[in-house]
Structure 1
Amino acid sequence: MSDSELYGDNDEFDSIYANEDIEHLINVGELLKTKSLDELLKNDQWRTQEIDSKINWYHGKISRESSESLLKEGLAKLGTVDGLFLVRDSTSSPSDFVLTVTSSAKIYHFVIKEAYSGHYQIDDGVIIQGLEKLISYYESDANGLVTRLHQFCGGEPPPYQARLEGATNILHRAVLEGNPDLVGKILNHPLCPNVNSKNQLGTTALHDCCRYGFEAVAQLLIEHNADVHVKDKQGLTPLQRACAANQSDMIPILIKKGKANAQTRSPKTGWVAMHDAAMRGNKECIQALLEFHTPKMPRAEDGSTPLDLASRYGRYDCIQLLSPQNSVTALTKKADWFHPDLDRKDYKDCLVHFIDDGPYFESLESLIEHYSRQADGLSTKLLVSVSTNTIRPDLPPRPADDIIDDDLYALAEDSRGTANPPPLPASHPPSSKTVQQKQAEPLQKLESLEDCKKIRSKDIVLGNEIGQGEFGAVRKGQLKTKDGPLSKKKTTVAIKTFHKDVENSGALQSIKREAGLMHMLNHTCIVQLIGICEEPFMLVEEFVPLGSMLDYLQDHEKSIPVKPTLYLWAAQIASGMQYLESKKVVHRDLAARNILVESTKQVKISDFGLSRAYAEESNYYKASKGGRWPVKWYAPECVNYGKFTHATDVWSYGVTLWEMFTYGEQPYGDLKGIEVIQLIDSGKRLDKPEKCPEIVYQKMKACWEKDPHLRPTFNDLHNHFEEDPEYSCTRDVMKRNKKSVK
C-alpha cells in the first residue's frame, strides 16, 4: 500500500480538480454576474437528478411486504423479468440494508451488511466501499447472487453516509472559492443542495473547507447542519482532513462548534486525528488537539501511537509535544474513585493505563479525566464517582459488543448492596441458609459423573470437525457398541473434544458440570448425552444432523414456512424448557445458535455450558464470577443483579422466537451490549418481525415484561403453542413427543 493510499494524499484533491479544469469549477461568483442564483440552482438540481437517476433504487424504511408488493407490481407491468430489484433499510440494524430481487418469478431478500465503516457485503461476497458501488458490482454480473441485477423499481438515491461519491454541485464549487457571503446565499436558498452530499472525489463541502482552511465557510456549514462525523472516500472525517492539511485553526471550530469527536478512527488504518497530525509533523494541530484534552496516545489497528509515527518519520517538534514527560496534570484525584481492594490491584502499579482498545494514559487520573469529558466508546461520560467514604450511584461497567464479563457485574452488585439492595426475582422467601449453601448440594450432585455411561476410547472413531466450542472442537464420529441406550453396532455421534490445556486451566470442572447435568436429562427436545470417555476426556452426545437452527434458518429461509414448521419448533423448545424447569435447571444461554435441527419436524435444545441448578428454597441462581454473558438474550435482572431464574430463560425464549421469525437476523442489529441494556431500560423492545403473526409477537412481548412475575411460565408457553387453535398443525407431533418423555 502506497503512502497516499495509507495516509490519504491531500494532493489528490488538487490533481483531480486540475484534470477537471479547476477554473471551470471555481467560477460560481463569475456565473452570478450573468445568471441569477435561482437559475444556477435549478440547472444544478436538474443535472444532479440526471446523474442520480441511475441509482434511484433506494426506498428507505419500507417493510418486506411493501418491497415485495412493489416488485410484484413491476412484474405485472414488465412481465417475468429476472433481476428487478430495490434496496431498503434493514429493520434490525441502522447501518445495514436489504436487497430485494426477482428471479424466475420468485422474490429473494439479501441482507447488505456494513462490514466496516462505509464498506458493504452480501453474505460472504466481496466487500465493496460505497453502497452504490456494491449495487453496480452486482449489476455487472450475478457474482453469486440468484441473478444479475437488471432493472430497479424507482425510488431515490441512497443516503449520503452510505455513498462513496456523488455529483459535484454548486455548493461544492462555491466552497472552493472560500467566499462566505456566496456560500451563505446558497445555504439559505430553498434549492440549496444537501449540505452533506459528496462530490465526485467522495468529499463533502465541509471536508473541502477543512482541506483549504476556509474557517468562516466551515462555521456556516456547521450552522446549516453539516455532519462533522461523515467520512470521505479515504475514510477520513473533516477533523482528520484538517489535521492532515495542517489547518490548526479549523480544530476549535470542529470540536467546539461542531462537537467533532477527535477519537473517530479511519477504517483503513485505525488512525485518529492525532495520528494524522503526528505523521505529517503538524505541530500546531497537535497543540490545538491537546488544548481540548485529546489523548496523546491513542492506538491504531497495529498498536501504533502518534509518538511512534512522529519518531518513525523524524517529526522532532511533535516528539517533544507527545513525550510522556510533557504530561498535563490531571484534574481528578485518585482518592475520589480508586478502590484498590475491590479489583485487580496490579492496575495501580501499571505504567500505562487503558480501557479496551482506547488510548493509553500515563496515569489512572488522566484516564478518568478523559472519560469524564467524553464517552469515547463507553456508554456514557463518567459523571459521578464512588469514593471510599461515600457510597453513591455506581458507574456502569464497559461491556463488549454483546457479551459482558460476570465479574464486572458482580462488582456492581457488591456496590449496590451497600445502599438499597434490589429485590430478588425469587417467588420463595429466603431461608436461614445463605445462597451459597443452598446452591452447594444440587451442584455437587450434578457434577458427579458416577452414573454416566463410561465409553472406552477404542470404541470411538473420530471424524470430521463440525464445530468449535469454548474449550475445544466438536467432531462427528462413530461409536462402536452392542448395548447401552443405542442398539446399533455402529452409531453416528457428536463428540466434544477438548484442548490439552483445559484441565490445567480449571475449565474441566465446568465441562464436567455440563456432563453431570446432561446425563440426568431425557427428553425428545433436548440433546441426549450418551456417555463420557475419561482418557482422553470427551463427551459423546447424540448426533443432530442438520446443525444449528440459526444457520439452518439463514440457509433455508424459503423452505421454512411459518406454518407448521416455526410453530412446531416454538412448541418443541417450550416443551424442552418446561422439562428443564421441572428438573430445576436454568439454561442461561437459550438462543437459536444453541438449538439443533434434527429435521423440519424436530429440534433439540443444546449447549448446557452455562446452565446451573438451584435448590428449591431459593428458586434462583446467582452468578458471581467467570464467563462472558450473551447480553442480547438476557433479561434485565440477569445483567443488573446476576440473578438467573426460569423467568430469565423465558426472556431468552422470547428473543429466540424473534430470531426464528426473522430467519436468523441479529437481535438489536449492531448495538453494543450496553446500548441494548439502555434500550431495554427505556422501555423499548425488539420490533415485530415481518413474517411473524401478531399472536406470536404478543407472546414474545409477554416474555419481555420487565417484572419477571408478569412473564408467562414455560408451562404457559407450551400450552399456548400446543392448545391454541392457531397452532393446530403442531398438535399431533407434540402428542407423540409427550409419549417419548420419561
Structure 2
Amino acid sequence: MNRNDNIRWYHPQISREDGEELLLNHPKKCNGLFLVRGSVSSPCDYALSVLYNNQVNNYQIRRHQEDAFFSIDECVKFHGLENLVNYYKKNPLSEGLVLTEHIEGSLPPHDSLRQGHTNLLHRATGRGAYTVVNELLRTDYHGSLAKDQNGQTAVHLAAIRGENEILSSLIHHSFNVNLRDAAGFTPLHYACEYNFPTTVRLLVKLGKANIQARNTDSGVVPLHVAASNGHKEVIKELLSLNAPVFPRTKEGYLPIELAKKNKHEECVMILKNYKAPEPKMKRSEFYHGTLGRQEAEALIRKNNPQNGTFLVRFSERNNESILTLFHEDKIFNYIIQKKDGFLFIDDGPLLKSLEHVVDYYKYLRDGLPTVLLNPIPPKPKPTVPPISTLKKKNQKLSKPLLQLPQPPYSDALMNIQFKSDFSSFNNNNNNNIKEKEDNLISASRLSLGVLIGKGEFASVFRGTLHNHDGTETQVAIKTLREEQLDNKESFLAEARVMTKLNHHCIVKLLGICMGPSLQMVQELVPLGSILQYIDAHSAEINPNCEFEIWAGQIACGMQYLEENRLVHRDLAARNILLASKWEAKISDFGLSKALGSGNEYYKASQGGKWPLKWYAPESYNYGHFSNKSDVWSFGITIWEMYSFGATPYGDKKGAEAITLIDRGERLERPEKCPQYIYDIMLRCWALDKDDRPSFQELLNFFMSESQYTNITELLSETT
C-alpha cells in the first residue's frame, strides 16, 4: 500500500448526518472506524467522525491561521492533517477511543498536508522551465499533491531559485504563498535566505505573503533570516514593506542581535537607524483609559459589533493596557505587555507605542483571531483649551456630574460633586482670631509644641495660639533662621501681603511673631505633605481619584495666586500639604515674591541653593520667575504624585537634569499616569513659556476631568 492510499480518508462533499450513516452501515463497522470531512459550519476547518460502541463521535478540527496547522479542541497542534490523524491512531481521543480503519475517500486538499510527492510542476519549476510551467497551469494541472517530499510547493521552489516569472504565474493561479514546508519555512523565508529582494517584494505585494510568518520550531521570521545572513538589500526591502524592526524568536532574539552575532555591521546600522512610520490611528480613536473587563465587553456588545471590533483600555488589576477584541460572537482580552520601553502581545514584535500596536494588528492577525477593524472610540476627554480660546479671567467654571467609579469606593462618595467655588468652605478655624492691621502676633500668645518638620530655611513646630477671647487654636509655627533673611523689612512687607491671602487651597498665614526669633504662624495642616501621605498610603490611593482632586486643588490655589500677581518659586510636592485625604493646600511661600505692577516676572538677584529639577529653563538660566515658570513646576509636582513620590530625574544632579531638558528630553510618563494627564505635563514643560497653559486653563481641565465635584459634601461625609 503506498502513502497516497494511507491518507485517502477525506470526504469533501458529505454532511454530518451522511457521514454518521456511512459509518454505522459500513461493512468494516469496528471501533475506531473514521473519516474526515469538510466542516459545514466553518468552511476553512474540517471535522473528524469516529465510530465507537455503535455511536458516532464528531470532533471539530480547527485550522490555525492561514497554514496547515490543525488541532482538536485547541489541544496539541499538528502540522498537516495526516500528522493529526496518525497521532490519534496511537493516542486516544477519549477513554479507549483511538483511530483504526478509515472509509476510503479522496486525497485531502494539498494545503492541508505537511508533505507529499514530487510532481511535474515541481520538476518544471525546479528547472526554471517557465514555458512548461505555464502550459501545466493553462491545462489546470496541479498534480496529485502540491507538496513534495520536503513539504515544499512550487511556490517554495520558485522562491528558492528567484524565478520571478514563474512565481508571478503561480500567484496569478491562486497558489498559496504562505504554506510552510516540513522544516517550518515559507517561500518568503527562502527568498530572504537566498538574497532575492525583488522576489521578496513580489511575494509580499502581489502574493500577500505574511511578512511576519514564523518558523514552526524557532519562531524565526523573514527579517531574522535576512539579518542573520547579512543581506542588507533584503532587509531594506522588508522594512520598506512595513516589516516590524523588532520581531522576536522563541528564544527572544531580535534581528539586530543576529546581525551583530554574525558581524554584519552594515545590517546592524540599517536596523539601528530605522525609524518606523508614524501610525495612522490616533489614541483618541480607541483608548478608553481605566475600564474594567465587564464594562469593556458590555460596551462592545452595546455597539452591535462586527468581527474585528475592538478597544484598548487600562486594567488597574493588571497594571497594563488590555486589547479587547470581538470575533465570531466571542470577546478576547489580550494583555499588552512591556519590555525595555516597548510594548508587545504574546510572542508578537516589540512596538513603540499603543498606536503602533493597533496599527500593526490592523494589517496582521499574528496570533489574534482576526485583524483589528472597527475601533470603539471613548467618550471624549476634556482637554486644556488652546490659549486662543481661553475663558475670560473671572468667568465662573462649571462642569456636569460624571459617572462615579464602582466599589471599592464607599457609598459616602456616590453623591460627591467637585466645585471650583469653595468660598463657603473654610477649614482654618480662625474666626476667633482678632487680626490687627500689621498682622503681628506677640510671643506671649504662642506656645511651642513638638517639631513636625525641618528644612534649610526653617523648622516647623506644632503650637497653640491663645486668642483674645480666651479660646485656643492649634497652629503650625515656622521659626525662620534670620541669617537666611537678606532684608527683614522686605520680608515683612511680603508677609503682610501673604496674610491677606485667603483661599481654601492655600495654607493660611495668620501672622508674624517678631521675637525672640522670627516666626510665621500658619494654619495647622494635620496630615503633612502629600509625599508623606503617598508613602504611608500608596496601596489605598487610586490615581484617577485622589491625584486628580489634588491636582485640581493645586491648580485652583495657583490660579488664585496668578490673579493676585504672585509667584511661588518653589512649587513642589513637598510643599503641598493635606488637611484631609480630600483637601490639598499649597504651602511654603518663603521664596514667593509679589509682582510689581506691569512686571510679568520676578528676576532673582541672589543665588543660593535652588531646586533646579523643579525650575523652568528661564529660571535656572536667567533667574526669571513668573506664573508660567510656576506652571512648569506644577507639571513636575503632579509628575511626583503620579510616580508615587519618585524623585524627578532619579539620582541625576540638578546640572545633569538641566542638560537633559536643554536637549529636548522630558520626564517619562509614570506607569499609573493616564496619557491625557501626561499630555498636560508635557504642555507645562514647553520650552517657550507662552506655549504653556495658564493656571486658569489647568483649573478648567482638572475641574472637568475629576469625577468628584463637591468637595464640601465629601468633607462633611468624612469628618
Shorter-chain-normalised TM-score: which range? 0.3 to 0.5
User: TM-score scaled to structure 1, two decimals?
Assistant: 0.41
User: TM-score scaled to structure 2, two decimals?
Assistant: 0.42
Identify the structure with bigger relative contact order (alpha carbons < 8 Å, sequence gap 6+).
Answer: 1
Higher strand share: 2
Higher helix share: 1
- The structure with the larger Rg is 2
